[in-house]
Amino acid sequence: MPSFRKELGKKDLEILDLFTISFSIFRYNFFNFFLIAMICGIPIILTTAYFPPTILDPLKIQTFEDFINWFKNEVNEGFYINTFLSWFLDIISVLSISFLVEVMINKKIRTAFWAIKKSVKVILPAIITSFIYMIIVFFGLAFFIIPGLIFVVLFMFTNNICALRHTWGIDAIKYSASLIKPKFFKALFMLSFIVFFENVFIISFPSAPADTREGLLYYFLSRVLLYLFDTYFKIIIALFFLNRDFVSNSQKLDFD
C-alpha cells in the first residue's frame, strides 16, 4: 500500500480525493474494518430486533412540550437500550477506525483488535468529551436549530482528536472547530451527503413484515451493509481530520 503521509501534509485534499484515498484504505485493510463494523454493529442489530425502540414521529411533535410528553409517555425500554448502546459503540468505532487510518497512511497494517484495545485506553476521556458535545448540540438544536446544526459540523472531528491527539473535553471541541472553520462548507457538504446517502439506502432497501423470516433477513442484511458504508464514511472523516491537522500545523510552522 502506498504512503499518503506526504500528500496529506501538502495541501487540503479535494472531496473526491478524500473519497478515493479512503476507499483505497478501506480496500487494503477490508477484513479488519469489516470486523470493527460487525463488532460495533451486530449488538445494535440484535438489541433493536429483540427490544424494538419507540420511533419518534416528527409530525406529532410541534412544540418542545410535545417532545417532553412523548418522552414521558411513549418511550420504551428499547429506546434507552438502543440509544445507549448505539452511542457507546459508535465512540468505540470512531476511535478504532481513527487508529487504523493513522497507521495505514504510514504504510502500516494493524488489526481490528489492536485498534479496539487502543480505543479502550482512551474511552473515558472520549465519553466525557461526547457528553459535553451532546449538551452543546442539544441546547443549540432545542432553542435555535440552525446553531445546533452548525455545532454538529464544527465538532465533527472531536472523537478523532480524542483518539489521535491525546486531547479531550473542551480543548478537543475547540480544536475541532478551529480545523473546520476554514473549510466549513466542505465539511457541511460531506456530512450532508453522508446523512442523505444513509437515509436513502435505508428507505430504498427491500423490506418485508418484521415478524417474518424475510423481514428479519432483509433487516439484518440492510444493517450489515449500512454499517459497512458507515465504516467507510468514518474513514473519510478520519482522513479529512488528518489532512486538516497536518496542513494546519505545517502552515503554522511556515508562519513561524
C-alpha–C-alpha distance, residues 5 and 9, integer Å:
7
Which residues, 6 or more positions from 158, have their beta carbon under 8 angstroms from its beta carbon?
Answer: 129, 130, 133, 172, 173, 176
**Number of domains comprising the chain:** 1
Taking 50 as the pLDDT cut, the residues of the chain under it are 253-256
Query: pLDDT value at position 256?
Result: 40
Question: Which tens digits make up the pLDDT trace of 140-194?
Answer: 877 777 888 999 999 999 999 999 998 999 999 999 999 999 999 999 999 999 9
Q: At residue 29, what are phi and psi to the nearest 5 degrees?
A: -125, 40
0.85 exceeded by pTM = yes
CA nearest neighbour of 159 among 186, 121, 126: 126
How far apart are alpha carbons 76 and 202 in whole angstroms? 23
pLDDT at 106: 83
Q: Which residues constitute the domain of residue 39? A: 5-255
